[in-house]
Structures are given as C-alpha cells and as structure tokens.
Amino acid sequence: MRALRFRLALWGWRSLSDLIFLVLFRVWPYRRNIVLLNMARCFPTRSEKEIRQMVTAYFRHLADLIVEPLMIGGVARGSLGKLVSYENTALIERLLREKKHIVLMASHYGSWEYLLSLPLQTDCQVLAAYSPVSNKWINSRLLKLRGRFGAVMIPKSEWYRRTLGWNAESSAIFVTIADQRPPESGKYYLNFMNRKTFVQSGAARIAVQRDCAVVYLDVTRRERNAYDFRFRLITAQARELGEAGIMEHYYKALENTIERQPEFWLWSHNRWKFHSRQGQKPVNALKLL
C-alpha cells in the first residue's frame, strides 16, 4: 500500500512539474536569455542545437526543482531511499570519530533541498542556513519542511556568527551552498566554466577559522526526481590547505560535476552579473586569516 501511495504521489508531483515547465518555458519564458547566454559562454565548443537542447532540459529540471522540496518534505521515511541515496558515508563517520567538525560544501546542483535529509545518516548535529521569507506563515511552513529530519536551520544573516561560535561538545556538520554569487563584484575571482568568476569564500573562511574537515558533495541524478549524493574529501585540516586551496579544489570539483550533467546546475541564476574592475585579485591571492 505504501508503494502504491508513493507512485500516486509521484505521478501527481510530476504532473504538476510538467505544467510548471509549460508555463516557464512556453507561456512566460523565465530568464531564458540568461540561461541561453550562460550555457553558450560556458560551452563554447558546443553547437547551437546542443545548447538549445541543454536549455530545454534545464527548464524541465527547473520545474522539477520547484516541486522537489514538497516531495522530500512529504515522503514517508520508508520511501526516502527512492528519492535520495548517500554514498561514502564512511568518510563522514571517520571524520566524526576523529572529533572533527565538517564543512560540507554543496552547490546549486541537483536538488539541494534533499540534503536536509542528511541528519538521518549521522548522529551528529547538522546545521544549514536559510533565507527567511517575508510572509510569516510561508516561512513557518518552509522551516517545518526543512527541519523535518532534524536539521538545525539558521537564518543566513546569523550563519557566520553562529557557526564560528558553535561550541557543542560533539562534532557538527555545517552545510554550505558554496557557489553563491557575492553581493557585489568583490575582491577575489577564479577561472570557472571558462569564465572569470567572482566568488564568496565564507565557507572556506569558516573552515579555516575552526580548522574543520572540508568535504565536497558530488551529486548525480539517478533518474527524474532522484539523486545520489557522494561525499568527497577536500581536506581533513582546513588550515593546512588554506582558503585559496579550498576554493580552488571546490570549484574544480563543481566544474567536473556540471560537465558530467550540465542541465542540473542553476543556470537561470545571473552568476556572472559583475564585471572586472581594477584592483581585484585572483583567488590564489587569498590570505589565510
């Protein structure tokens, strides 16, 4: 009976996603020019036909992405494995046995909302940042969905202070979506997807300050609405690698993930909004704090 309920719910979610796709792609084209431009510049060797196929595939994924938080928030725990699986959890277990705090560097790839099921994979506390919405009822509902599996949700404005000041006796995992565009062009950049890209180094800064272990979350879409998450070690001692080294390793790993299945990254985000200005430095000029 549970399997039948899951299949019926999946049919409903996918039908809603198909309708959203028609709206976003046909009726009200949502940032389609930004998506097309981003993909064309990041994949200069691909033909126009290939780029347009990628754009269509991306909008199908974007529609799925809108309904997937409802899916992960409503699915029975016994059916959770049909939506998400975790690989190389032994790495996390080893780092926790070594009493290490972990900065988990995720990205806008696949469905990052699924990552809020991580507390079911470990006994330690899992902290994640969120951006509050102005409507209090909606904000409360989102927090309930996102905290359903035990994640400690922290407002984005308090994230840096709370993570640096986290003094729990047991180790914790700090989940960061690390490919955020900085609020302005900023000082630091690197080469990412064939483009000069300004970066935020907040996740690396936290890791260095606390000398955390740093782990990259590699994501593969197994099938529609289902993802495999794999943990890959960047460094067990952040201070040895430093901010610059952490960011370089992270963005190289993310680039490899995107090139494997390009359509599942958040291409409608205006990631390359800012232009160069005098006095900016490459990421390898970042200094250890």
Distances (CA, A) of 215 to 106, 194, 249, 253: 9, 24, 10, 11
Mean pLDDT estimate for the chain: 89
Checking if the pLDDT of 286 tops 50, the result is: no
pLDDT at 288: 29
- Condensed to tens digits (0 to 9), the pLDDT of residues 75-133 reads 888 889 999 999 999 999 999 999 999 999 999 999 999 998 999 999 899 999 988 88
State the helix-helix crossing angle for 238-260 and 202-210, rounded to 10 degrees. Answer: 150
**Listed range (86-95, 164-173, 214-223) with the worst mean pLDDT:** 164-173
pLDDT band, residue 246 (cuts 50/70/90): very high
| Side-by-side strand order, sheet with 188-192 | 195-198, 188-192, 281-282
Spatial separation of the C-alpha atoms in residues 188 and 285, rounded to whole Å: 8
- Two tokens at 81? 């494995």
pLDDT band, residue 185 (cuts 50/70/90): low
pLDDT at 203: 93
- Two tokens at 128? 């994640």
Give the residue-averaged pLDDT of 21-45.
Answer: 93
Spatial separation of the C-alpha atoms in residues 79 and 76, rounded to whole Å: 5
pLDDT at 279: 45
The burial of 30, by beta-carbon neighbours within 10 Å (0-12 exposed, 13-18 middle, 19 or more buried), is given as: middle
Distances (CA, A) of 158 to 84, 105, 131, 139, 144: 29, 18, 10, 16, 19
Checking if the pLDDT of 159 tops 70, the result is: yes
Q: Give the residue among 174, 209, 189, 211 at the shortest CA–CA distance from 289.
A: 209
Q: Which residue has the tokens 């984005």?
A: 156
Spatial separation of the C-alpha atoms in residues 89 and 222, rounded to whole Å: 18
pLDDT at 275: 58
- Two tokens at 231? 């943990």
- Two tokens at 167? 């003094």
89, containing H or E segment: helix 89-97
Spatial separation of the C-alpha atoms in residues 39 and 37, rounded to whole Å: 6
Q: Which residue has the tokens 């993310």?
A: 254
Checking if the pLDDT of 280 tops 70, the result is: no
**Listed range (156-160, 166-170, 204-208) with the worst mean pLDDT:** 166-170
